[in-house]
Structure 1
């Protein structure tokens, strides 16, 4: 089974990495692929460039064999659409390999507004990670998809190439990329919110308003 966990990772932090490890263990796979998007369609430009975010992500997972980086979206022009990525992966994996995409409840709440959203369950399973917030509209399409196609046992994901929806409630670290960027810009240290090699590279490149001479 192939599992992808996408995001802007602007910058990557321990919250992203801890969730990826939780997913690997709960879904019973040997690795999880982190997929940095090029241009997020619902956000616009990122603070760091695609190449910089990729470098930070590679540094973050360098010592963790269970986490890998898939840079395919960074090589495509224009906005990063999930359906395009899944279609490309499906062509590589074949028709029968189980494929899983991971999304938080905040993003999943607008699932029926995604480009080619109806095609996505035909290409892959969808794992929805519960996040703090108001949750899903019980009358909305996303909630109905969970109700009609939801499963409660992660092992079932291995039995089909796609089509299932699984909601998970793993422990989440209360860390946000926005908060980290604000902290760096205001001259405060983000150490222990992200791997040290990532923080060193941010300082080296002067990203997010970091001072290259700052102490780690």
Structure 2
């Protein structure tokens, strides 16, 4: 009897999402398409260890993500970091996903160039490559080689970089595959400032998220 095919690569997209906006949505969608991801799992950070506490509670940030991705069957929200009630480390989240998804399913951690440039400062960062691939988003025409990186991270990039998304299917982890993204000058910081001054944020984030913010009286 034929066995069902292995599911395609699972994208992993973390962040504070304070609030989630169209830049996040577009990045996740372009990663899904460019890298051939079966799904993208959104994981709001509960208590980020590397930055000041977010303005809104973990539960509200998870609620905004759920509102934002409703209607996209390829997106799913994961509240595990929110429920944990402790500082969020990507390596621990990926280890839990690896246990849940099995040893063979490819996991792809979606990162922008700013986050990737600081990867060497992350908790147990070298272990990430044994747990997942990295889908590295960069602006069209931007060379990854032009990034200013820590020497140890430069060595990892040189050893693991690939331009072939098929590499994400051929192994469960370990490659860094770059893809082009549409540059959108939208930031959560700017959106929070606009909201604080009563300025319009329409078309910067989904209507469902804006309605959630209004109902919950956030920001």
From 55, 64, 67, give the equivalent of 1:56: 64
Aligned to 1:183: 194
Does residue 40 of the first structure (1) align with residue 51 of the second (2)? Answer: no
Aligned to 1:172: 183
Deviation at 1:130, TM superposition (A): 2.1
Contact preservation (8 Å) 1:136, 1:142: no
Contact preservation (8 Å) 1:33, 1:70: yes
Aligned to 2:217: 206
Equivalent positions of 1:7-156 (< 5 A) are 7-130=15-138, 136-137=147-148, 140-156=151-167
Structure 1 188/140 Cα, relative in aligned 2: closer, same or farther at 3 Å? same
Deviation at 1:138, TM superposition (A): 5.2
Structure 1 138/7 Cα, relative in aligned 2: closer, same or farther at 3 Å? closer
Where do 5+ consecutive residues of structure 2 fail to align?
A: 1-8
Structure 1 72/138 Cα, relative in aligned 2: closer, same or farther at 3 Å? closer
Residues in 2 aligned to 1:29 and 1:102: alpha-carbon distance in whole angstroms: 11
Aligned to 1:197: 208
Residues in 2 aligned to 1:99 and 1:36: alpha-carbon distance in whole angstroms: 17
Q: How many residues align?
A: 207
Residues in 1 aligned to 2:59 and 2:150: alpha-carbon distance in whole angstroms: 41
TM-score where L is the length of structure 2: 0.89
Aligned-pair Cα RMSD in Å: 1.7
TM-score where L is the length of structure 1: 0.91
Structure 1 172/117 Cα, relative in aligned 2: closer, same or farther at 3 Å? same
Residues in 2 aligned to 1:201 and 1:193: alpha-carbon distance in whole angstroms: 14
The secondary structure found in structure 2 opposite 1:172 is coil
Residues in 1 aligned to 2:72 and 2:91: alpha-carbon distance in whole angstroms: 28
Larger mean CA deviation between 33-42 and 135-144 belongs to 135-144
Deviation at 1:141, TM superposition (A): 2.4
Residues in 2 aligned to 1:178 and 1:106: alpha-carbon distance in whole angstroms: 16
Where do 5+ consecutive residues of structure 1 fail to align?
A: 209-216
Contact preservation (8 Å) 2:49, 2:88: yes
Deviation at 1:204, TM superposition (A): 1.5
User: What is the CA deviation profile of residues 158-200 of structure 1, one whole-angstrom value per residue up to 9, with x for unaligned ones?
Assistant: 0001011112221132110001001111110100101111111
Aligned to 1:212: none
The secondary structure found in structure 2 opposite 1:34 is strand
